[in-house]
Structure 1
């Protein structure tokens, strides 16, 4: 009967526990998803201002309305 109890204990520990590799893989996946979402938002809202800043620092120096006008 003692061997029966120890076998049940080993089964529960083996099924319920996750290895550190599984946990780290899940953490990396969550982090990369979070980072990609943030990069998408930064790129979306930062592209046009970046182009305006680069345009204003070029030679010859245009005025802001010249950069934004379609002509």
Structure 2
């Protein structure tokens, strides 16, 4: 992987403020998307089996809970 090299100028510059805002926005977006995907993974992991049971219990013909949970 290639690494980025950032050159910092000496003194205060007003032209660089837009670039730093873009970097902070990109960093914030990346952190937010990472947080969201981690939460979605947990929800999908723990919510899949209950979702299958609820859908199965609302289908026709209405099975008993023991019929849904048995492997046969």
Q: Into which bin does the TM-score normalised by the smaller protein fall?
A: 0.7 to 0.9
Moved segments of 4+, more than 3 Å: none
Segments of structure 2 that go 5 or more residues without pairing to the other structure are 1-8
| Length, aligned pairs only | 60
- Give the corresponding residue for 1:49: 50
Name the CA distance, whole Å, in 2 between partners of 1:28 and 1:38: 15
* SS state at 1:19 partner: helix
- Give the corresponding residue for 1:26: 27
- Of stretches 58-67 and 18-27 in structure 1, the one that deviates more from structure 2 is 18-27
The structure where helix makes up a greater share of residues is 1
Q: TM-score, normalising length from structure 2?
A: 0.76
2:27 is aligned with 1:11 = no
Q: TM-score, normalising length from structure 1?
A: 0.77
Name the CA distance, whole Å, in 2 between partners of 1:43 and 1:12: 50
Segments of structure 1 that go 5 or more residues without pairing to the other structure are 1-9
